[in-house]
Every structure is written in structure tokens, then in C-alpha cells.
Amino acid sequence: MNGALSTATIVAALALAVWYLLRTALDRAPGRIDLIAVVVLGALVAVLVLVAVVGLLDGSRPADTGTFAGYLVTTIGLAPTALILARMEPTRWGNLILGIACLVLPVLVLRLQQIASVTGV
């Protein structure tokens, strides 16, 4: 797992989570900027997952490759899922959906790092 890229993803997700929770508290429905922000975050996550997949193909696999792959699939799917649900929910709860997704993402990335680090020795 690429350290800098993971850290950037985690920081971006947490910053966006604060933003979305604030928007929820202010009773705002997701606007264009909110939706674009989660698309950008999703793109960042996609790059992260791509780098991880290339790492897998390189040979140095985590001991638990199955679990690692499962987390990769979940990680890349989370932001798009949240985006679809949020677009279906044009109320404050749409922003809460985005906020929760942004809180779950760092956990997933941390888990990926954990699984990858157990490996390598």
C-alpha cells in the first residue's frame, strides 16, 4: 500500500465527512458541489485501489490475499454506492449518507494497510 496516497485519501475523506455532517446539521440537501466532491473522492480511492491491485500483480502478496481483495472491492464500491443513494435522497439525509460513507472509507483504508503490512516480511 502506498503510504502517501493512503494518507491523502484518509485526510480527504475525514475532511469531507466533517463537511457533510455540517451540511446535515444545517438541514441542507446534497447540492452539485457535494456530489462532485464525492465523485472526486471516489476517483482518488479508485487510484489507490488501482495502485494496490498493481502491487498484487507484482508478486508481494499479503498473507490473506482473499480478505485483501474483498476489502479492495468494498473500498472502490463505497463512494459510488453512497453517491447513488444520496442522489435518491434529496433531503438532509442525503448528506448524512455521504458523511457516513466518508467515515467508513478511512476505516477500510486502514484495514487495507493493516492486512498489507502483516504480509511483507
Which residues of the shown chain bind another protein in the complex (CB under 8 A)?
27-29, 64, 66-67, 70, 74, 78, 81-82, 85, 88-89, 91-94, 96-97, 100-101, 104
Q: Tell me how far, at minimum, the Cβ of 56 lies from another protein, in Å.
A: 17
**Phi, psi values for residue 61, rounded to 5°:** -95, 145
Name the helix (H) or strand (E) containing 59.
none
With respect to another protein, which residue has the nearer C-beta, 2 or 64?
Answer: 64
Q: Where are the alpha helices (DSSP H) in 1-121?
A: 3-25, 32-58, 65-88, 92-119
Q: Tell me how far, at minimum, the Cβ of 97 lies from another protein, in Å.
A: 5
With respect to another protein, which residue has the nearer C-beta, 5 or 104?
Answer: 104
> Where do we find the cell 456530489?
35
